[in-house]
Amino acid sequence: MNERVAVIGAGTMGRGIAQVAAQSGFPVTLYDAFPEALPRALEHLQAILQKLEAKGRLNEPAGAILERIQTTAALEDLKDARWVIEAAPERLELKRELFARLDECAPHAILATNTSTLSITAIASATKRPHQVVGLHFFNPAPLMKLVEVIPGLETAPEVVEAAVAFAQRLGKEPVVAKDSPGFIVNRVARPFYGEALKLHGEGIPFEAIDTIMRGLGFRMGPFELMDLIGLDVNYAATTSVYAAYFQEPRYKPHPIQRRMVEAGYLGQKSGRGFYRYPREPQEPEPPPARSEQAPKALILGSGPLADLLRARFAHTTNSDEAAFILDARVRLEKKSYPAAPPKLPVVTLVWGHSASTALRAYSEASDVAGFSLVPPVTERAVAELYAPLAGGEEAVALARRYFEAHGLRTLTLPDTPGGVGFRILALLINEAVSALQEGIADPQGIDRAMRLGTNYPQGPLEWSETLGIKEVLRGLEGLFHELGEDRYRPQPLLRRAAAAGLGKWR
């Protein structure tokens, strides 16, 4: 059987997909409507393959791989293709026009689209054989990223889905089947990583601090670094597309900062300036040396994963007479706050579900109050976030800084904000993943695997909710919804049911 792979579009994604197919042994035809784009694409591919060959990362000579790639500016040359993968710009009408022509020009092919946000069903409806149309969403850069989302439209035949999964595996990829819905898995679930980061920045948190905190949680790049890498225009377009596709659902709403950056031409690395200026040499500050014997003693309150971690790894006492301060690791503000006969001590309270300022009224016996956030699992790169309320907080913040730095953690003191940075972004990622699960977009394993492979997240969002505690995530979101009053923080019903049932794992 002929196994020729035709790729539509000689841009970044099209070239990358063509390279993957050719390296996997498939004969490839690379099509572009603009003939002048094709020699440039071949030159680019030749340079990349020669570099890989020089590094010993190819199983055969670069020239042999390149010989498998033909180019054409005529769709009629695709008549013998077994697979057609469209990687044209993200415009629905353009894709529909292409698929209507491909219906005739590639009559024996399975027609696949690499769209990242558009409806597979809408694209397939432009053909006379929607049962042979499927989404194959590769991630950039296609030769390096392992994930391929396989998305059937409403009429895609089951055997076509099976063939698409097998084809992706032959390309050396890890396919995840997703339901046809705006953004599929990754571009939908990942929206809060950018959207909530922008919202926090708009509330006065420096973007550099947000990036530092998220890297401290194990993300390879912070949201602002990643937007600069992707391109502010590309990220803004994806956000706008998902927002429109969900009929202006508030939690997908673009932020004015995005539009302002695009209008200014600050598009990120490709324009030399985004949130950062380029070239840039990021500097990761060294964590302080651990001197836990110098840490002030804390009386740790609460139960659950974070409280357990604090007691296991950080100096503490169970005797209130020995404590220098109270470290309250409970999520909710039903902090009837102290143990019996409380001393008049400073309190450093967890702010996952509220701001430090809101917490003041819960600690009338305290000499001073501040907030903290620390998100498990805590690695050597973790950052302890510290928050002073609008009134006071100096003594409590100073004690918390000494405490966490004595245990080898970096600290950042930031403007008071409900939820802090790390937990707030992560909680919305989890809530979005639960929403995708609730709607049947994919199963728990598929959602987590897609997010790890497609975005390089250190854990899948649902896995992370198990690390934090499903009940604790719910309580934090309930508190954020109460204090901030925006629908984006409303916990998903499935999350409420899971917590009510005492669920510890989603699998």
**Residues tagged active-site:** 116, 137, 149, 187
d(CA 454, CA 131) in angstroms, rounded, equals: 27
Structure tokens at 456: 């390089």
Of 466, 362, 476, give the one whose Cα is nearest residue 428. 476
Among candidate residues 188, 215, 219, the one with its CA nearest the CA of residue 116:
188
Alpha carbons within 13 A on the beta-carbon side of 155: 13
Tokens representing residue 303 in the block: 């139960």
Say how far apart CA 469 and CA 328 lie, in whole Å.
Answer: 17
Rg (CA), the chain: 26
- The single residue listed with the structure tokens 């802090």 is 420
| Full 3-state SS string of 279-302 | CCCCCCCCCCCCCHHHCCCEEEEC
- Measured in whole angstroms, how far is the alpha carbon of residue 322 from the centre of its chain? 43
Q: Could you tell me where the DSSP H helices lie in 144-282? A: 158-170, 186-189, 191-202, 207-216, 223-230, 232-245, 256-264
Q: By C-alpha distance, which of 435, 463, 428 is closest to 449? A: 463
Angle at 240 between CA 439 and CA 181, to 5 degrees: 25
Helix 256-264 / helix 232-245 crossing angle, nearest 10 deg: 140
Which is it for the CA torsion 221, 223, 224, 228, positive or negative?
Answer: positive
Rounded-to-integer distance, Cα 10 and Cα 246, Å: 30
Instruction: Give Cα 441 to chain centroid, integer Å.
Output: 16
